[in-house]
Amino acid sequence: MPTEPPPSPWVFPPIDLDDDQELLAVGADLEPGTILEAYRSGIFPMPIKNGGDIGWWSPDPRGILPAGELVVSKSLRRSCKRYTTTVDQAFSQVVDQCADPERPHGWIDRQIREAYVRLHDLGWAHSVETWDEEGRLVGGLYGLAIGGLFAGESMFHTATDASKVALVTLVDLLDDGRPRLLDVQWRTDHLASLGVVAIGRVEYLQRLAKVHQTPYPEAFLPGS
């Protein structure tokens, strides 16, 4: 099981359910206990700008991928047969690819990278990697698993459909018959094409509360 870090000394402001403000606070730290407390409260960290102060966000609406709603096209099914996927075999490499400064709208800076590598070392952050036939890392994603929540952080690809193949694998890993919530933060047109929907903050927090006691995914336990 993951190692529970010391609790955060910070207290996050309560989420005002009647306020559509997405940015709730600025500052604090990126210690493991602080980040975990944020996610358990429906909040996540993201820099205001790359290398700048850390903002703590709670989007309204929130993007999620409902269980059983992943859209897998015929071409994506063919891609799934062409690539190989693994779990937690190249976490740092996946984060580094997601943090490529040449990517538009990049937000993963050094402090974010270091924070999630620490969470990976403690057993909370995980990656799914996609490899081509020559053994090259061509896609992947990473995020946090906390009880029944998987909070997707970012994904990348350098070959056609490679990030989508990683998502297919992640969905399969989480499909264990238990209540789970796959959070993608914001709904984009690209994610919507894969089945992601936007739900209100109230509904998101209700769903989050329902998965707090769900057992940690066995797929992410050592030796699985």
Q: If you ran DSSP here, which 8-state letter would residue 61 be given?
A: S
Q: Tell me, yes or no, whether 104 lies in a domain.
A: yes
Q: What is the pLDDT of residue 17?
A: 75
Number of domains in the chain: 1
Give me the mean pLDDT over the 188-206 stretch: 94
Does residue 188 lie in a domain region?
yes
The residue range of the domain holding 118 is 63-220
Residue 42 lies in a domain: no
Give every CB contact of residue 77 below 8 A, 6+ residues apart in sequence: none
The CATH number that applies at residue 104 is: 3.40.630.70
| Burial category of 222 from C-beta neighbours within 10 Å (exposed 0-12, middle 13-18, buried 19 and up) | exposed
Instruction: Please report whether residue 127 resides in a domain.
Output: yes
> pTM value?
0.94
Residue 164 lies in a domain: yes
Residue 21 confidence (pLDDT): 86
Q: Is 47 among the domain residues?
A: no
Query: pLDDT digits over 23-64, tens only?
Result: 999 999 999 999 999 999 999 999 987 667 999 999 999 999
